[in-house]
Amino acid sequence: MFEKVKESYAELGVDVEKALEVMASTPISLHCWQGDDVGGFEGGDGELGSGLAVTGNYPGKARSIDELQQDIAKVLTLLPGNHRLNLHAIYGDFGGEKIDRDQIEVKHFQGWIDFCKEQGIGMDFNPSCFSHPNADDGLTLSSPDDGIREFWIEHCKRSRLIAAEMGKQLGSAAVTNIWVPDGMKDLPADRQSFRVRLQQSLDSVLAEKLDPAHNIDAVECKLFGIGSESFVVGSHEFYMGYAMKNQTALCLDAGHFHPTEGIADKISSVLLYVPELLLHVSRGVRWDSDHVVLFDDQTQAIMQELVRCDALPRTHIGLDFFDASINRIAAWTIGTRAAQKSLLLALLEPQEKLRAAEQSGDFSTRLMLHEVNKAMPWSVVWNEFCARNNTPTDWQAMSVIKDYESAVLSARA
């Protein structure tokens, strides 16, 4: 059947084998925080703050680094292709010691680097500017308190150095993404002062030039959050301007904009002005930004734009959701596969014919090609991709997940 499907796509000018090559070389960065509900391993109660919230209490969440690594390793066996791990600073191996975030070092993350070496994957990293006494008032890098601001500046500086060592040891540049929750629930009197302080703090954090072969800096915007409904210091306009001026990567999170606003249309514009793009593929539902990614119109549109703009070489794709209401292994697997299937669908578009029709003003043919493509048997190509990577199909993966739940996760209850 696959050979016949290849022939059908070839009639539209689509090289299926080339699409599969691109799929195999396009990693998705798996976010570690889905596995333990953004708790981390600093000790204490691991209670979330700074506008972050995880709902649900499905049994089996990871309670230790060993358990989290075990779960991630299992998920990787269920995903075709080669991928990455996205780690937050609160997930270090602190050996039971109280290591505050302005004191973290590479040694606290060497175990994770070694894990990724064993798995044959790259790493990305994030300073954790939330769920900490120095973030209790909702302000970190933009705080008017000099001591608090310096604390978070030092944390971010150390995070960049740790990420650079990850990239150096693994032979693949780590993306260090800076997101801060800074904002206010009600109307501020002076927005600009907060943004001036954030700009100055970021300048200090990024002052040391690091080898881009080891570390890539990114900054992430947000429209609003829980507890920052009226004002977020790091808005899209702020970070768009900052990334342009300083030529950092810009992170667009699919759940960080208005519920009716998609990020797909931003991609072609942003890439005219910034060197690289970081995507946090997520799914917003009303005021919550972090539902499990689905094979839906928004995700498909994001991947279509990346392919149509030839932007994959300049784009880092990561996931960002945390759902504790369902099996966490299933959440990872379903979300990652949805992103991958959306990418495959984009790669199977008859781009040459679509562009030729558009350039000649034949919009009727362009529209028909879009409709024809929707009915093409892309799922046969997806199953072939899974088979070539010795991974199960979607439904087969669910059986593996249920077996793992019975054998491993249920023992954690």
Tens digit of each residue's pLDDT (9 = 90 or more) over 164-210: 999 999 999 999 999 999 999 999 999 999 999 999 999 999 999 99
Amino acid at 283: R
> Catalytic annotation on 236?
no
Q: Which of 290, 305, 323, 349 is catalytic?
A: 290
Q: What is the reported pTM?
A: 0.95
Q: Which of 124, 220, 276, 305 is catalytic?
A: 220
> Catalytic annotation on 288?
yes
Map residue 197 onto helix, strand or coil: helix
Round to whole Å and give the CA distance between 166 and 140.
25
Residue 233 lies in a domain: yes
250 φ, ψ (degrees, to nearest 5)? -110, 130
Is residue 215 within 8 A of residue 157, CB to CB? The reply is: no
Residue 289 lies in a domain: yes
> Catalytic annotation on 320?
yes
Residue 53 lies in a domain: yes
Round to whole Å and give the CA distance between 299 and 344.
12
Q: Taking residues 49-62, what's their average pLDDT?
A: 81
Q: Taking residues 273-286, what's their average pLDDT?
A: 94
Q: Which of 67, 150, 288, 394 is catalytic?
A: 288
pLDDT at residue 288 is higher than 80: no
> Catalytic annotation on 332?
no
Residue 400 lies in a domain: no
Round to whole Å and give the CA distance between 176 and 278.
10
Residue 287 lies in a domain: yes
**What was the pLDDT predicted at 50?**
62
Q: How many domains does the chain have?
A: 1
Q: Which two tokens stand for residue 81?
A: 């292709």
Q: What percent of the chain has pLDDT over 70?
A: 98
Instruction: Give the CATH number, domain containing residue 51.
Output: 3.20.20.150
Residue 266 lies in a domain: yes
pLDDT band at 49 (very low <50, low <70, confident <90, very high): low
Amino acid at 321: F
Residue 25 lies in a domain: yes
217 φ, ψ (degrees, to nearest 5)? -85, 140
Residue 369 lies in a domain: no
Q: Which of 236, 280, 291, 341 is catalytic?
A: 280
Question: Containing domain of residue 38, as a range?
Answer: 16-349
